[in-house]
Structure 1
Amino acid sequence: MGVAVNARVDDANPPARAGQAAMAPIDCALDAVTRRLDQQRLREQFVEQGAFLYLDAFLPSDVTAGLADSARALVPAVNRNYLPGHKQGGSVSRHTIDRLAPRIAELYRSRALIEWLERITGDRLLPSPDDDPHAYALYYYTREGDHIGWHYDTSYYEGRRYTLLIGVIDDTSCRLDYELHTRTPGATVVAGSIQYPPGAIVLFDGDKLRHRITPSKAGEMRVSLTFEYVTDARMRPWRRFVSNMKDAIAYFGFRQVFRLRGASLPGKDTA
C-alpha cells in the first residue's frame, strides 16, 4: 500500500508573521493552516513517495463548505462526457468557473497556498495560462458508472505540471486508486487506494502518478476540484493542438475549449 499521511502540527513553527492582518482573507486562513504543519516531514514524504502526498485534512471547514455550495450551484453548467472503456462523468472548466464561481479562482491564486506548495515540491510554481481550461476545474461523478480509468495527468507544457486534488463533496463509494514509482527506473511499484473526504488534498506530479477513480453507484455524488500549476508555461504549437483536442473531447466540449481560447474549431471558423 502507498502511504496516506495525516496532517501533523509542528509546535516548533513560529507565531504568525507581523502584518498578517493585511493579507487577503483566504491567504490568512491558509497561512494559519500551513504554518501548523510539519513542512519538513511532509516534504520528505513527498520525495520518498515519488512526488506524491495525501493529507486527509487541509482546507478550513468554512472554505470547504463554500466550495461545496459552488459545486452544487454549478451542476446546470456541467458538461457530460463519455469515452467507452475509459471515462464517464461531468466537468466544469475554469472559464465557466470564472463566470459563475469566481471565488474558486481566488483560492487557486492564493499566495499562501502557492508558497506552501513550492516548499513541498521544491519547485517554483506558476499558475497555468489563462487559456488553459484545466487550470482549475470541477469534476462530477453523479450517475451510476461515472469513473475514469488508469491514466497519468500528462503535461504538454515544457516544464513539470503539478496536480492538486481537493475533496469537495463525497457521498460515494468511489476511490482514488494509485501506483507510485511506475516511472522510476529500478524502483518497486507501490499501490494505494484512498477515499479523500471534503477538505482533503492530494498533491502529485501528473507525469509520475498512475491513477484512476473507481465507478460510482446509483444515487451517489462526488465532486472534486483540481488545481494545476506549472514550472514552465510554454507549450509548443503541436502540443497545444493535442491538448485542445483532448480537453474538447474528454472534458469540456469544443465550444468551451476553442471559442474561449480564441481559436477556430478544426475545419470551421469561430462563430
Structure 2
Amino acid sequence: MTDQAMRTSAPDVTPQSAATRVASTPDASSPDNQVARETAALNNATLREDFVRQGAFLYLDKFLAPEATAQLIRLARELQPHINRNYLPGHKQGGSVSRHTIDEHAPFIAELYRSKALIGWLEKMTGDALQVCPPSDPHAYALYYYTREGDHIGWHYDTSYYDGRRYTVLLGVIDESSCRLDYELHTRDAERADEPGTVQIAPGGLVLFDGDKLRHRVTPARANEFRVSLTFEYVTDPGMRPWLRLISHMKDAVAYFGFRQVFRRLLSGGKNRA
C-alpha cells in the first residue's frame, strides 16, 4: 500500500520577471491555487492505480499545502465554542461542527471544499464526475473533534442515502493524540480477501474512500488528547428519495449536529451557500 505521495520532478520553465509572475498568479494563496500547486506535483497515474487496487481507498500522508494546513488548524481552534457534543452508547462519542456553522464562521473551509482543482483531482482518482452536496446536507463539510477521554467512533460504513455514489475526503487538521483510523478493505468484495490497515493522519494528510465500501473506525482518545479532522463529501448524483432524506437528517441530528442545527436550517429554507 502506498502511504506517501509520489512526487515528480519539477518541469523546466522559462524564467519570468517578477511582474509577469504576479500578473499570472494574482491569487496564489487561494485554496484553489494551493491545491492546484500540490496536486500537480503528485504522481497521479500511480495514485489512481493504488485507489483502484485498494477497492476505492487512498491514503496520502502529505496532501495540503502548509499554509492551508495552518489555516485549518487556526480555524479548528476558533470553532471550538460551536462544538455539538454527541454520545451513542457502544458506538460513538465526540464533537462535531456542521457545514452550516462553518459557512458562518470559517468561509475558507467552504472555499476549499468547492476548489475546482480539488474536485478535478478527485475525479481523476475516482474516475467519476463529482458534484458538491446540496445546501441542506450538514455533512457536506464538517469538523470532528476528539477532545475527551473515550471519544471515538466504532466500526461502520459511511452509508450514502444519495441516488449515486458518495466519496469521503478525510483531512488531518490537529493530531495531538493516539487515535488511529483503522480500516478493512474489500469487505464487500466476495472475490477478494479482507485487508486490514491502520493510519494516524498527520495534519495536512488525506484519506479518500467510498464510504459504502470501506469498513472503518477511529480508536478511543486517551485523557488530555486532542484530535480534529475535516471531512468533505462529494456525490455522483445529488438526488435523494424523500424518506431517505428524513432518515439522513434524523441521523445527523441525533449522532452529530443536534436537532437545532439540522432542522432549524431546513425550516428556514437552508439559507447557506450552495
Of 133, 144, 150, the match for 2:149: 144
Cα distance in 1 for residues equivalent to 2:182 and 2:253: 25
After superposition, residues 217-232 of structure 1 pair within 5 angstroms as: 217-232=222-237
CA deviation vs aligned residue, 1:57-114 (integer Å, no higher than 9, x gap): 0101111011011000010100000000000000000000000111100000000111
- 1:267 maps to what in 2? none
Give TM-score, length-normalised by structure 1: 0.92
Cα distance in 2 for residues equivalent to 1:8 and 1:86: 36
Cα distance in 2 for residues equivalent to 1:222 and 1:171: 6
Contact kept, 8 Å, 1:13 with 1:35, in 2: the verdict is no
Of 180, 188, 210, the match for 1:205: 210
- 2:160 maps to what in 1? 155
Aligned-pair CA distance for 1:259: 1.1
Cα distance in 2 for residues equivalent to 1:168 and 1:263: 31
Q: What SS does the corresponding residue of 1:240 show, helix, strand or coil? A: helix
Cα distance in 2 for residues equivalent to 1:137 and 1:173: 21
Of 192, 199, 214, the match for 1:187: 192
Contact kept, 8 Å, 1:118 with 1:124, in 2: the verdict is yes
Of 82-91 and 5-14, deviating more is 5-14
The alignment status of 1:91 with 2:96, answered yes or no, reads: yes
Which stretches of structure 1, 4 residues or more, deviate above 4 A after TM superposition?
12-16
Contact kept, 8 Å, 2:31 with 2:108, in 1: the verdict is no
Aligned-pair CA distance for 1:134: 0.1
Aligned-pair CA distance for 1:10: 2.1
CA deviation vs aligned residue, 1:136-181 (integer Å, no higher than 9, x gap): 0000000000000000111000000000000000000000000000
Unaligned 5+ segments in structure 2 are: 15-20, 270-274
Cα distance in 1 for residues equivalent to 2:153 and 2:98: 17
Cα distance in 2 for residues equivalent to 1:4 and 1:260: 41
The alignment status of 1:113 with 2:113, answered yes or no, reads: no
CA deviation vs aligned residue, 1:164-206 (integer Å, no higher than 9, x gap): 0000000000000000001112210000001010000000001
Contact kept, 8 Å, 2:2 with 2:50, in 1: the verdict is no
Q: What SS does the corresponding residue of 1:46 show, helix, strand or coil? A: helix
Unaligned 5+ segments in structure 1 are: 265-271
Q: What SS does the corresponding residue of 2:25 show, helix, strand or coil? A: helix
Contact kept, 8 Å, 2:171 with 2:229, in 1: the verdict is yes
The alignment status of 1:196 with 2:201, answered yes or no, reads: yes
Cα distance in 1 for residues equivalent to 2:60 and 2:24: 25
- 1:9 maps to what in 2? 7
Aligned-pair CA distance for 1:20: 5.7
After superposition, residues 1-271 of structure 1 pair within 5 angstroms as: 3-11=1-9, 21=25, 25-262=30-267
Cα distance in 2 for residues equivalent to 1:27 and 1:127: 15
Aligned-pair CA distance for 1:261: 1.5
Contact kept, 8 Å, 2:163 with 2:238, in 1: the verdict is yes
**When the two structures are aligned, how many residues end up with a matched partner?**
261
* Letter of the 1:105 counterpart: A
Q: What SS does the corresponding residue of 2:71 show, helix, strand or coil? A: helix
Q: What SS does the corresponding residue of 1:218 show, helix, strand or coil? A: coil
Cα distance in 2 for residues equivalent to 1:153 and 1:93: 16
Cα distance in 2 for residues equivalent to 1:151 and 1:231: 22
CA deviation vs aligned residue, 1:203-254 (integer Å, no higher than 9, x gap): 0001000000000001000000000000000000010011011000000000
Contact kept, 8 Å, 1:126 with 1:232, in 2: the verdict is yes
Cα distance in 2 for residues equivalent to 1:20 and 1:123: 30
* Letter of the 1:117 counterpart: L
Cα distance in 1 for residues equivalent to 2:13 and 2:196: 38
Give TM-score, length-normalised by structure 2: 0.91
* Letter of the 1:154 counterpart: T
Cα distance in 2 for residues equivalent to 1:188 and 1:20: 50
